A and B are shown apart, each in its own frame.
Chain A
């Protein structure tokens, strides 16, 4: 299957196979007017299989969200058909309005205008803690 390269925009590469839809959802790419290509199960030398998302617009993407979904993703910025910048990701220290606290006793369960803020507690296990009630959330909840 051939998908054209893009002239200007962003290529999200090395997405763990099967996670492209999550990237699409959390970056709210459905709201864009520009072209977006979502390619699933591409063959990869390093990863065997990977997903790729191509966005033909130089938008300001939330790297924290992306890092949380999959810190192995590489972000390539394309200008005039050439890559001008490449960024690698890591798990962000703080996540705001990405996760939702599932503790029914948390203040955020009744005051829904409060921002949902989580801080990292364990980088290896990708564990985050609700800054209000201290409930721990695991990365699996996104997968």
Chain B
């Protein structure tokens, strides 16, 4: 496939074969880092971050540096020309002349669609509001595949904010590509998964159930994907305060969980996973960030045609 001006906006922009290829590549990067350490020499990556995101931005930058490439960009709209009123379209048109690959995070949903219409180099969406965040899903998939050995035959529990949690929707969309998975959706009524996402589960004919109880669901799970109730997704502070502490994972709640459960979280964590859980070998959320970096390395290589 010609990736010379390809845009990855949504996880579904990558085929199943491409996802598998990227995961294989990430595994090879882990085994043979020296093989890749100079692959991106003389290549430049721009990280255009219109809103703060320490981990995602540094993960991309670390990924590019580990491939021998260089990085430039901005972190926060106030330090970019957006503060002077420059449009996304103009910024992307200019940046396309400077770098080999563009990564952008923007608080407004659909900003990457605008970017994709103007870029002349490969483009990666690093999150657009509550909409899409494909490289987080790449991290999630690799973590599940490495900890479970496969992306099939898994009972996946998704817990917390299933309404606004973009990572949850993208993970479901991607996991539906793989057979024999079961989904348990754990949330309060106010943060239930949207109908359009439920429609996808129904259309795929997979087994799924909705519940409010984390305790009841936990013994069945192979993977537990915890999410944060995000303050920035609420218009009303009262609703946020009422719902933010509704699910907190503690060592006690894990007593009935399987011995080989994998606990994932897209981070940052606020208090929905007690720090006492961090020592549990089933806690994979910090390992997930390593998987994220390696998947970003794989994606950069693939989009630049340097994966072979």
Q: Which residues of A contact B (CB under 8 A)?
A: 103, 105-111, 113-114, 130-134, 136
Contact = CB atoms under 8 A, between A and B. Distances in A.
A59 B89 CA distance: 34
B88 interface: yes
Contacts of A107: 88, 106, 108-111, 113-114, 128
Contacts, number: 46
6 contacts: A105-B109, A108-B110, A111-B89, A131-B113, A133-B108, A134-B109
Interface string B100-137: 00000011111101100000000000001111000000
B87 interface: yes
Contacts of B107: 105
A132 B110 contact: yes
B51 to A, nearest CB: 12
B131 A111 contact: no
A106 B89 CA distance: 15
Given A111-B89, A131-B113, A133-B108, 4 more contacts: A107-B88, A107-B110, A107-B111, A136-B196
Contacts of A105: 107-109, 129-131
Please classify the interface of chain A as helix (H, G, I), strand (E, B), loop, or mixed, using the class held by over half of its residues.
loop
A17 to B, nearest CB: 33
A87 to B, nearest CB: 32
B105 to A, nearest CB: 13
5 closest residue pairs by CB, A with B? A132-B110, A133-B109, A133-B110, A107-B108, A107-B110
Contacts of B129: 105, 133
Contacts of B89: 111
Interface of B: 87-89, 106-111, 113-114, 128-131, 196
A111 B87 contact: yes
Contacts of A106: 108-110
B131 A109 contact: no
A26 B138 CA distance: 44
Contacts of A131: 110, 113
Nearest to B82: A110
Nearest to A121: B196
B113 A111 contact: no
B114 A132 contact: yes
B110 A130 contact: yes
A108 B110 CA distance: 8
Given A105-B129, A105-B130, A111 B109 contact: no
A110 B111 CA distance: 10
B9 to A, nearest CB: 10
B108 A109 contact: yes
Contact of B131 (A110, A114, A134): A134
B87 to A, nearest CB: 5
Nearest to B107: A105
Contacts of A113: 87
A103 B164 CA distance: 14
Contacts of A110: 108
Contacts of B128: 107
Contacts of A132: 109-111, 113-114
B109 A103 contact: yes
A4 to B, nearest CB: 49
A110 B109 CA distance: 11
Nearest to B110: A132
Pick from A131, A134, A136 the residue with the most CB of B within 10 Å: A134
B59 to A, nearest CB: 24
A126 to B, nearest CB: 16
A131 B110 CA distance: 8
A48 B179 CA distance: 54
A107 B87 CA distance: 10
Given A103-B109, A106-B109, A132-B109, A111 B130 contact: no
Contact of A133 (B87, B88, B131, B196): B131
Nearest to B111: A107
